[in-house]
A and B are shown apart, each in its own frame.
Chain A
Amino acid sequence: MEQNNKFNLVDYHFRSQQEVVVSYKGPFDKGAMNMIGNYIRGLISMNPQASKKVFKVFIELAQNIAQYSAEKNIIGEYVGAGVGSLVIVDYPDYFQVVTGNLIDNGDLGPVIDKCELINTLDKEGLRKLKREQLKQNDYERAGADIGLIQLAITSDNPLDIEVKPIDQNCSFFTIRVKINK
């Protein structure tokens, strides 16, 4: 039977809570980074300290998706930036930056362990861990492996993570970072 699918934009638009200031799903390429980054910069005059933190958290999370998402933007033979979802919510007392992306099940364990360790540490403990990791870093690797630690330092809040198993190969990994106003 032929189906006539109509995407309901009205539902989509109003389904988002009022507090959602940005929502995006797609490749985290230059264009997306630029657009969302500039939008956050626009918020800065209202609350400079918190907005700068929102910006920093956004950059780290977005670059993680761009590099590590198991889902890539594929156009013909070209494999582009990683695909994921991002929502920034503006609550009365805090901002919440939420991202999600597919992750290979094999990579999941270390990420969860790292987040759990991070959530046991206070600010000084986090800074100490970051210094240790930076010191013993491998020159050849692109990243610094301190992204998650930096998120906790910048936001001054625990990392709230959630894993939804998808299939044998991958899961959907959500991370919520709260930034007090």
Chain B
Amino acid sequence: MQNLEIKGSHGDYDVPTVFFNAETGVCELKGESYLEKTAEFYDRLLAWLDEYIETVSNPITFNFRLTYFNTSSSKRILYILLKLKEYEDNGGEVTTNWYYDEDDTDMEEEIEDFRIISNLEINALPDSSLRWE
């Protein structure tokens, strides 16, 4: 199975950087997410996860390093979390880490809200390199 790599962009609409590794099961989503075509973008990510879960079925470590996302992205991020939760419920091994700037209390609350809605264990990990600039 192929890795999924999308180089993010910064400027007008911001596209996050994606690196999903089929060999190690480590999936990274970082940067800022406020896209023009949010659904199309996240559908690719969800389709990759579906294929990985069906064909590779190894453990997944999902690392979020998003410094900002808009509300239409929140909805799509939730679909990722729900998919991870479903995989875990069906016997898959899932670790979800969410790295964030310690001073960003809004982000801390977003993570907590995602945890409550999805019932997925999300490790909130402070990382000062994610200070927004």
Contact = CB atoms under 8 A, between A and B. Distances in A.
Interface of A: 30-31, 33-34, 37, 41, 44, 48-49, 52-53, 55-56, 59-60, 63, 127, 130-131, 134-135, 137, 139, 142-144, 146-147, 150, 153-154
A49 B116 CA distance: 25
B47 interface: no
A124 to B, nearest CB: 10
A37 to B, nearest CB: 8
Nearest to B34: A59
A131 B116 contact: yes
A56 B71 CA distance: 10
Interface of B: 11-13, 34, 36, 38-39, 68, 70-72, 74-75, 78-79, 103-104, 106, 109, 113, 116-117, 132-133
A142 B38 contact: yes
A34 B72 contact: no
Given A30-B12, A63-B34, A52 B132 contact: yes
B4 to A, nearest CB: 21
Nearest to A150: B71
28 contacts: A30-B12, A31-B12, A33-B13, A34-B11, A48-B132, A52-B104, A60-B71, A63-B70, A127-B113, A130-B113, A131-B116, A131-B117, A134-B74, A134-B75, A134-B117, A137-B75, A137-B78, A139-B79, A142-B38, A142-B39, A143-B71, A143-B75, A144-B72, A144-B75, A146-B74, A153-B106, A153-B109, A154-B106
A44 B12 CA distance: 18
A15 B7 CA distance: 44
Given A44-B133, A143-B71, 17 more contacts: A31-B12, A34-B12, A37-B12, A44-B132, A59-B70, A60-B71, A63-B70, A127-B113, A131-B117, A134-B75, A134-B78, A134-B113, A142-B38, A142-B72, A143-B72, A146-B74, A150-B74
